[in-house]
């Protein structure tokens, strides 16, 4: 992936897209392959190593693995950058509030206060807080798994704008989406997966849903035929 590029991972449910991303982020054990950031090898043994290398990940389920729903925007956004919002060994509320306030304006988060409990926000605004949490660490590579799941139409267009804006600033974006119109709207390049492996690649410009589905199902169908023949033998 290049700086400023949006690569979308497409494929059927169970194709291994999320697992692939978790391996890059150190949340899943990697058994083969190399990860390099800026040409330098990276071997994350956990998310903390990936974060140190400049890799952030917005997970698919914001409620169970992305946000602290019972905490306010300030503490959610500051969670990945405690060193930025601390004075020595002490957490600085003023620094954390300024950081959160900046993202509220930049991402247009609809909230009456940075001290609003995140669980009380709409789904779209929760998703923006989750993005802010990882943007605060200024990642070189941001992995976004199902960026608009559970948000309304208006919030979708806002999130698309935010993701394209990040790419324009030089952030490399690896996006997983099960919605083909979303893939076609966002991608500079589309990588199709099936059965845990890449099975094809398409340029984002000019690609069609039919082309993506053909790649996604061709390999799956061939594997299914081989399995049927093996059972029959």
Model's pTM, two decimal places?
Answer: 0.89
Q: What is the pLDDT of residue 232?
A: 55
Question: Which residue do the tokens 């049927």 mark?
Answer: 228
Q: Which two tokens stand for residue 126?
A: 């929760």
User: H-helix or E-strand containing 73?
Assistant: helix 73-78
Strands, E assignment, 44-183 = 55-58, 86-87, 90-91, 141-145, 172-176
Q: List domains and CATH numbers for the chain.
A: 6-232 (3.40.50.300)
State the pLDDT confidence band at 110, using cuts at 50, 70 and 90.
Answer: very high
| C-alpha–C-alpha distance, residues 29 and 15, integer Å | 17
> 7-41, pLDDT tens digit by residue?
999 999 899 999 999 999 999 998 889 999 989 99
More confident residue, 57 or 155: 57
Using DSSP's 3-state secondary structure scheme, residue 146 falls into coil
CA distances from 40 to 17, 43, 150 (A): 24, 10, 37
Q: Which residues pair with 190 in a beta bridge?
A: 8, 202
């Amino acid at each position: 992936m290049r700086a400023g590029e949006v690569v979308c991972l497409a494929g059927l449910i169970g194709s291994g897209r999320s697992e692939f991303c978790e391996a890059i982020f150190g949340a899943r054990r990697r058994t083969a392959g190399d990860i390099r950031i800026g040409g330098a090898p990276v071997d994350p043994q956990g998310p903390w190593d990936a974060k140190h290398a400049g890799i952030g990940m917005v997970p698919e389920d914001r409620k169970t693995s992305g946000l602290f729903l019972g905490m306010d925007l300030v503490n959610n956004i500051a969670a990945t950058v405690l060193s930025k919002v601390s004075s020595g060994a002490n957490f600085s509320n003023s620094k954390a509030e300024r950081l959160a306030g900046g993202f509220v304006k930049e991402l247009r988060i609809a909230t009456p206060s940075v001290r609003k409990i995140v669980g009380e926000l709409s789904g779209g605004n929760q998703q923006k807080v989750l993005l802010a949490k990882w943007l605060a660490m200024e990642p070189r590579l941001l992995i976004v798994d199902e960026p608009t799941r559970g948000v309304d139409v208006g919030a979708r267009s806002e999130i698309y704008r935010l993701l394209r804006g990040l790419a324009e600033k030089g952030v490399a974006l690896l996006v997983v989406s099960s919605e083909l119109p979303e893939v076609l709207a966002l991608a500079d390049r589309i990588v199709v997966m099936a059965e845990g492996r890449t099975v094809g690649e398409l340029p984002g410009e000019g690609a069609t849903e039919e082309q993506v589905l053909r790649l996604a199902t061709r390999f799956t169908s061939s594997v299914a035929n081989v399995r049927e023949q093996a059972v029959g033998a």
